[in-house]
Structure 1
């Protein structure tokens, strides 16, 4: 342990003081750098534009789609009612046997034959009916002879009663016998007529002109009462039973022109009648369309009918101007430089045009080209061709 304090260093000892001064230099350098950084930051903030770049870009108008527009026009539009159905006979006659137990002797027609009124279709064996007719005619002759005798006896009795040579009772008997003879004669005539009618029933003839649709018997078959023999299409006339929606029945009337389509074939026809009933399950009515002779159609064929109803004024637009949004028809109407979407209630479509029942007024301009790429409120510009 030292007995004296450490020696005090003085300036005269030759030691320097720089180490204490270097401790103050570094804080000054840091403060200088901070001051320079603040100046640079202030300069950058002063030179920054007042509006952010993103906001300035958003203020620019969006690009406008070039579209073509067309005015909605009002003009008479011939409405067409469309229906489909089967070809059926106008009147189908089922000819059957009136007499039973007779053998078929002859079938004079084939299916598809054209027949005339009164033409023989089927002949039954007539031996028994002919014999019955002969018997009835003989009985008629006998009754006529008996009536002649009774009348002669009555005439003699009348002459004798005038001279009072015959009793009153005899005269009354002769009068009664004459009346009985007259009654037997009337009965014999009825039996003769019945036998003749039975004989005529062995010949089945065509009641009208027509076409044989079906032949149901062959020679040698034994008939029953009411058995079907021949099915006849009266006058060869066919018609189409077109099924039409109930809402369209009100504009269909007899006599209107109809275009019937069967494949590539088109047939000019007319409406004959409208059925008064509508089916409950399908809500369809039946329009009877009379087909012309020589149409080439046959019963059972399926065809489509287009009834041309009377023309009525309506708003129409091109078909390409109608778009579908959320399952509903719509169109874009030009208002200034923007388009507005309108919901439409459409009717029939014909020759590239669509009938607008509600949603547009005549003269309004609708987008025809480019409507599928638009949304409500979009800015558009007219294409050069449209201008």
Structure 2
């Protein structure tokens, strides 16, 4: 029998056919079906992290708007009649104390009238002394018969008339002294000058307002609160007031107006501000400013989620709940109070609900997601930075 020798090319072809046959035998229909199923399996839309709502104690606040006004204003007027104003010592914004001299009127005419009143008093006293001496002598001669009863009566009457003239002269002198006092306009109380109409050289009539001042420098916030919220407020309630310029102060409710406005159905709540609020030209609050504020009414328990978990779409707020099948469901919620980076959720969630935090803004209802731990997400975010 002859030995057949195969060429190298033939050997290579034979090996290819053998391997191909083995591969076809191993790749069964079951394996093919599994591969097709794997290829058709849905892919996760996003890798996310989740958390559960947390109960927290949040402050209860009542917001309101209003104006800043003076606690009380004092009008400083002229009490002099027909006198010329010679000196004005204060201007708008100056802080004054009770009794400080604000303006001075010319006292030349008043001093002349005062000197005349003093002279008239001295004359009345001299006449009264003479009348008293005559009346005393007449009374000593009453029983002697040297003077008639009518003459004695005349001396007594002259004495009484002289005494009355002394009283009248003293009253006239007091009037002139009072006029002299009125030539110096003094502050009726401590406070801040808020308006000035006094002009040097002007002759003011009695009752003319020269200055207006904020008594004791005290300001108040007059907040407008609707009638249904008034029962939550009482004197002593704290309020945080923020002015239009960004300044912020803490005040306390002094009183609540006894009436409600018929047009707006709101009442004024008077909040005392610290004295430093209106303490001078550079004070943060000014009378007439608009200010907003919040009354602090205590605390209450609330269910909160991270701010990142809230998604706002079409004007509504939503969160995404992670279901057991790794799909998410979009739930409409009503946000409430804020505390740092957490927001209160009013209804729609339970304490054990898994809420998507990272990636919530890129999801749609029904998406399949891949949940990872927060630490893993942070490590993945930091990897590109380390690579750089």
Structures share fold, TM-score greater than 0.5: yes
Q: Which has the larger radius of gyration?
A: 1
CA separation in 1, counterparts of 2:321 and 2:234? 34
Taking the aligned partners of 2:353 and 2:151, their CA distance within structure 1 comes to 114
Q: Matches of 1:117 and 1:106 in 2, distance apart?
A: 19
The reply on whether 1:182 has 2:170 as its aligned counterpart is no
CA distance in 2, matches of 1:222, 1:142: 34
Q: Which residue of 2 aligns with 1:153?
A: 134
Find the counterpart in structure 1 of residue 341 from structure 2.
352
Which of 351, 375, 383 does residue 363 from structure 1 map onto? 351
Q: Which whole-Å deviations, capped at 9, do the CAs of 1:166-191 have from their partners, x for residues lacking one?
A: 44444433333333333322222222
Tell me the equivalent position of 1:291: 274
Equivalent residues, number: 323
Question: In structure 2, what is the Cα distance between the partners aligned to 1:77 and 1:172?
Answer: 94
Q: Name the SS of the counterpart of 2:92 in structure 1.
A: coil
> TM-score under structure 1 normalisation?
0.65
Structure 2 Cα separation of the partners of residues 253 and 362 of structure 1: 38
Report the CA distance shift for 1:385/1:192 in structure 2 as closer, same or farther (over 3 A): same
Question: Residue 384 of structure 1 aligns with which residue?
Answer: 372
Query: Structure 1 CA distance, aligned partners of 2:135 and 2:318?
Result: 103
2:56–2:302: 8 Å Cα contact kept in structure 1? yes
Name 1:254's counterpart in structure 2.
Answer: 236
Deviation, 1:238, is: 3.8
What is the aligned partner in structure 1 of residue 31 from structure 2? none
Matching of residues 210-221 of structure 1 within 5 Å: 210-221=191-202
Q: Distance in 2 between matches of 1:65 and 1:247?
A: 47
SS at match of 2:351: coil
Query: Is this contact kept in 2: 1:244–1:287, CA < 8 A?
Result: no
SS of the aligned residue for 2:139 comes to helix
Hey, what's the Cα distance between the residues in 2 that align with 1:266 and 1:315?
A: 30
2:316, 2:332 within 8 Å by CA — same for their partners in 1? no
The answer for unaligned runs of 5 or more in structure 2 is 1-40, 376-388
Equivalent-residue separation in structure 1 for 2:82 and 2:164 (angstroms): 32
User: What's the RMSD between the two structures over aligned residues?
Assistant: 4.1
Cα distance, 1:72–1:152 mapped onto 2, change above 3 Å:
farther
Deviation digits for residues 304-361 of structure 1, max 9, x if unmatched? 45446243223132345556789776767789778695765x65434234445x6368
Q: 1:66 to 1:174 in 2, by over 3 A?
A: farther
Q: How far 1:93 moved relative to its partner?
A: 2.4
Superposed, 1:163-182 pairs within 5 Å as 163=144, 165-182=146-163
Mapped partners of 2:260, 2:166: distance in 1: 58
Q: Residues of 1 paired with 2:164 and 2:363: CA distance?
A: 100
